Structures are given as structure tokens and as C-alpha cells.
Structure 1
């Protein structure tokens, strides 16, 4: 890492997820710069910089001394490209937290070779959606080929943030799954099923609802068929206009929401399962992206290009580092 690039920039720092990321960077004593289109409030002692998405010069100036840029400002269909372009111009690594399939796919396709040529790392979809399932799947199967893989997620509630609402209104790109080794449009109307979680969530009615984990997993793992499901009750909540925003219930600012995520792989060797449980999908995104930033700050880190979390790092070691404080996870085989 260059001596004049020591900071981690957080774009969208005053948003709901951005605030969790700033707090986690401060907790880990990593030097942080808060960047956004406006800065109504930032924690004491944090430097704030103003840079609009359509102001390339301001973005370059904001990121010039930053080794890593974390983008928490959605919709990422609108924000990812201008921030990545600025990061490439100034030679900063980039991480975002998109759940949007089209944004993650576009980042991989458009920026992998350019990032490699520039010698920087770009990691889209490194949060709860996209990143966590990719880490679990990578730990589960490594470089082995898998016939069928399913990602199942249960939330006891989904209280959406303003950013989630805005992204839902913006993102009308058809969702995709992996079938016979290729990305194909999800069947509509969607498939529904039941899933028994090995957690307090128990038996849940599930609806096929793929997010960016389809893109991150299929980017580097050899999976012939890949689908993802979310419990129907949480989807009903996030779709209802009257559902409130999350409310903090502890000293860390987390809501009372709990989640369970399971990744099941089927192949000739049998059935393998990786699972994780935790509290607050927005809050748990912070340790995931901050752990990625911290690892990219290490002098020994030498990966470049557009990579998923499970591709850029040792997935099992990454999960152990995050799980000690923020997650409970396990692996099993039948």
C-alpha cells in the first residue's frame, strides 16, 4: 500500500448501512473518511468530504488518499459505475454492498480486466446479500464441481430502510438463476416451497427470490444449477408500504431482526450444508465489508481484478474472523 493512501472512504456514510460501516471501521481503529452527496451528520472525529456522483473531479479529490472505497449508497445500478470509475482513476480498491443482480453482474463484466490492468481489487456485493452466501458456498465446496446448490434465507422480520425502498423502486431488471451452468431468467410466477431451518426460524414457507448471491457464487464456483429462496413472511413485510423502518434495540444500533442462511450442495459425494445465524442483515454487512477492507490494506494482499469475497480471500478463514463476534456458522455433510 502506498504511503499516501492510508484511509478507507465510505461513500453513503450517513445512510443506514453506511453508519454501521463507519462505526465498525472506528471500532477496528482503521482511518476513515466519510464521503457523500451531502454530510448532514458524521461521528465526532471523522473527516467528511462532499462529492456528488456526477462530479468526477470531486470524487477523485475525495478518494485520492484512500486505499479502499466502500460504497454503501444505493441504488447501485446508479452509483456503482461513477464510484468505480473514480476509484480506478486514483488507484483505490473498491467494495460495495449491492443486492442487485444487474449491478453486480455489470461490475464483474465491465471492470475485471480494467481493474487487473490498474492493479486494484474490485469486490461487488460483499454484504449480507451476495457476500455471506458466497463465503459459505466457497467454504463448502472449494473448487469442486457441484450439481445442485440452493441458498435459503429466513428473516423473522424485514423492516426495510429508505435505501431498500428506493432500490426496490429502481430495480426492475428480471432476476436470474443458474441452470445447466448458465445464467437464465427466473421462472415467473416464482416457485414456492417449504424449508426447515436448523434454527429458531423452524419451518418456513419459501419463495424463490434470488439476489446478488447468484452472481457472486456463479462467478467463480463450478455449480451446474443454483437457486435461492427467501421466506414468504419477510417478503410480505418488505412489500407492504406500511412496514416501518428498522429501530435500534441495542447499544450497537441493531434492530431486533434475526436471520438464518443455509447453503446446501448436492453432488455425487452426497449432501453438504453450510449455515449461519445472526442479528440484523444491515448491521452484519458492516463487519463483512470492513474485514475485506482490512485484508486489502495488508501489504501482502496482491489480488487484482473484479472478484467476489469468496474468490478474493480464504473463505473459511474470513468467516472465522467475522464469526467470532458477529455470526454463528457451521458446516456439515451427509
Structure 2
């Protein structure tokens, strides 16, 4: 194979939102893989600066505003996959998704919002299928890990299983302003706990079970409350479950209740440097068997970017079926998680 032939076989990945904090990690990993992306956004100078900072002087720059559908479709033409890197997808995420599908490109993103993911699955699945492309939304350290872990862990107990998902910061570090914008856009939904899955349907409202979790590195239980984890929506698509819910430390939820636009204005753009985390999937079988799936990560933002690029590269090979899919429907769960090990992201499933 000649060098030119090898180059033609490289996937073409477009990134919208490349000049943000997580966008920088996306570009760094694309550069590490030897891929030259298409960078799309509103400001050509900022995109060029982001490309240069990531060592991608040959990156293609295309300008398209979120409100310009024709420009977005034109910008994504020729891309195998579009990665969307935005805050508050529930407010501004749909134009990128729709334009990617209309341009004939597979799509993934780093959203963390149940409301957006439900919209993707319910309203864009048929559209993506008809276009012959695959959409996998919500590729983050929490969402992808939770979905893939639950897929593997539920198969180690007698079903239908009950699944509790929780994300735990190991350092207590603060997130980015982009994450804060996401929270503010759906604050009432986050505080309400969002959807859980029970009795074959998605439900809102409080839940009375699993109010305490003993987290890794702790010998005492932590009080938790229901939280709007997006994998609640995807796990029932591929696993034998009777109940799925997200959980979060009630102390953290208490901090969210006082969050305001004024507090957002005072936040720094970049997050803290130490953002180690655990993603915990506790799975309970009907016969009393219990297993815990655990992903241990290095940096929530970096790791989400690594996962999104890995997902994009896998989507580019065209083996996933068209439509809007859960991560475990699109990818081999064990193989995907194992691919993250060189970056210090580890996983395990153990009996409890």
C-alpha cells in the first residue's frame, strides 16, 4: 500500500466546538492518531489557534454558525463522522446533530443531559437510519462508562437486574464553565432526579430504594439521592433490567440547589487540574447476586474526549448499524473499555 492510499483510508472527522476546553483534548488525541480533522465553528481565527496549539497546522477550517443550517451541512460534507463538543446541548445541540445526519456523516457528542439524549433517541433514530448513518450521543466518562459497564455486569447476575449508577469525584475538583452552563440549562431537571427506569417504563419522581452507597476507598456509606444519569435511558435497550437509576451524593445535590447565573459568571473557564473520578455501576440480580462495575479515570474532560475520538474512529469503519444507538449497541463493550487502558483508564467487575 502506498502512502497516498493509506492516507485516503484514514477517517475524516469533523469537530464542532474545537476551541473549548474539552475540544483541545479532542484535537490533541486526533493529532496523536495522525488524523487531520475538519474544524467547524463561528470564528476562523479561534479555530486556527486551537488547531495550531494541538499541532494540527493542516487542519481544515470551515465557518458555520449554529443558526445556519445550509452552512453547517456544507461544512460537514466529506466528513465520515462529526464530533459535537458543546455546553448545554438541550439548548443548542440539535442543529449540529441534524446537519451531520443531513450531510451523511455519523455523529457522536459529549453531552451529559438526559433531556437531550431522550430527544436524540426518540426523534432522530429513524432520520439517521434513513440516511444510513449511526448516531451515538452522550460519550462521556460517566455515560459511556455506565452504559458499557452495565451491559457487561448485568450478564454476571440472574436477571432481570437492578442497576444503580453513580459518578464520584476522587479529588473534589471543580468543573469547567461549560459544564456549569449545562447544569444551569437543565437545573430543575437535575434537581428533580430526572428519569429512572422501572416496570418497563421511564418514570419521574422520587425513589425510596438505594439511598446509601459505600463508595470505593470508603468504609462508611454515603447518603445519595436520585440523579439524572443519561445511561438510565440506554441500558434497558440492551440489557435485561427491571430497574435503573442514577445516584449522587446528597451533599453535591445540595450545592446544585443554590446555583445561579451570577455564580456562573464568577466561575473560571477552565476546571481544576485534579479531576480523578470513579464511575460505579452496582448491579443486583433477582437471586441475591451482586456485582460492582468500576471505571477509574484520570480526568473527566480529557477522558471524555479520548472516549469520543475512540467512538468516532469506530463509527467511521461503518460496522455499526444505522440509527440512534446506545454505546453498547454500537460497540463491543469489553473491547472498547480495554482500548482506554493505555490512557490510565481502568475497569473491573467484582462480586460484592
Preserved CA contact (<8 Å) 2:135 2:323: yes
Question: What is the CA–CA distance in structure 1 between the aligned matches of 2:145 and 2:88, rounded to whole Å?
Answer: 20
Q: CA deviation at 1:12?
A: 1.0
Query: What is the root-mean-square deviation of aligned Cα atoms in Å?
Result: 2.7
Question: What is the CA–CA distance in structure 1 between the aligned matches of 2:308 and 2:286, rounded to whole Å?
Answer: 34
- Structure with the higher helix share, 1 or 2: 2
Larger radius of gyration between Structure 1 and Structure 2: 2
Match of 1:252 in 2: none
Match of 2:166 in 1: 152
Preserved CA contact (<8 Å) 1:136 1:275: yes
What SS does the corresponding residue of 1:25 show, helix, strand or coil?
helix
What SS does the corresponding residue of 2:302 show, helix, strand or coil?
helix
Q: CA deviation at 1:94?
A: 0.5
Question: What is the CA–CA distance in structure 2 between the aligned matches of 1:205 and 1:302, rounded to whole Å?
Answer: 40
User: Which of 164, 168, 171 lines up with 2:179 in the alignment?
Assistant: 164
User: Which of 16, 24, 30 lines up with 1:11 in the alignment?
Assistant: 16
Match of 2:100 in 1: 87
Q: CA deviation at 1:102?
A: 0.9
Match of 2:248 in 1: 230
What SS does the corresponding residue of 2:82 show, helix, strand or coil?
strand
Preserved CA contact (<8 Å) 1:11 1:35: yes
Match of 2:300 in 1: 281
Question: What is the CA–CA distance in structure 2 between the aligned matches of 1:227 and 1:248, rounded to whole Å?
Answer: 27
User: Which of 51, 58, 72 lines up with 1:43 in the alignment?
Assistant: 51
Q: How does 1:97-246 map to 2 (within 5 A)?
A: 97-142=110-155, 145-155=159-169, 156-171=171-186, 172-173=188-189, 175-187=194-206, 193-199=211-217, 203-236=221-254, 241=263, 244-245=267-268
What SS does the corresponding residue of 1:228 show, helix, strand or coil?
strand
Question: What is the CA–CA distance in structure 1 between the aligned matches of 2:252 and 2:230, rounded to whole Å?
Answer: 18
What SS does the corresponding residue of 1:149 show, helix, strand or coil?
strand
Give unpaired runs (5+ residues) of structure 2. 1-7
The normalised TM-score by structure 1 is: 0.88
Q: CA deviation at 1:87?
A: 1.2
Gap change, CA 1:43 and 1:59, over 3 Å in 2 = same
Gap change, CA 1:91 and 1:233, over 3 Å in 2 = same
1:311 aligns to 2:326 (yes or no): no
Gap change, CA 1:65 and 1:137, over 3 Å in 2 = same
What SS does the corresponding residue of 1:150 show, helix, strand or coil?
strand
Give unpaired runs (5+ residues) of structure 1. 250-254
Q: CA deviation at 1:142?
A: 4.6
Q: CA deviation at 1:208?
A: 2.1
* Aligned residue pair count: 325
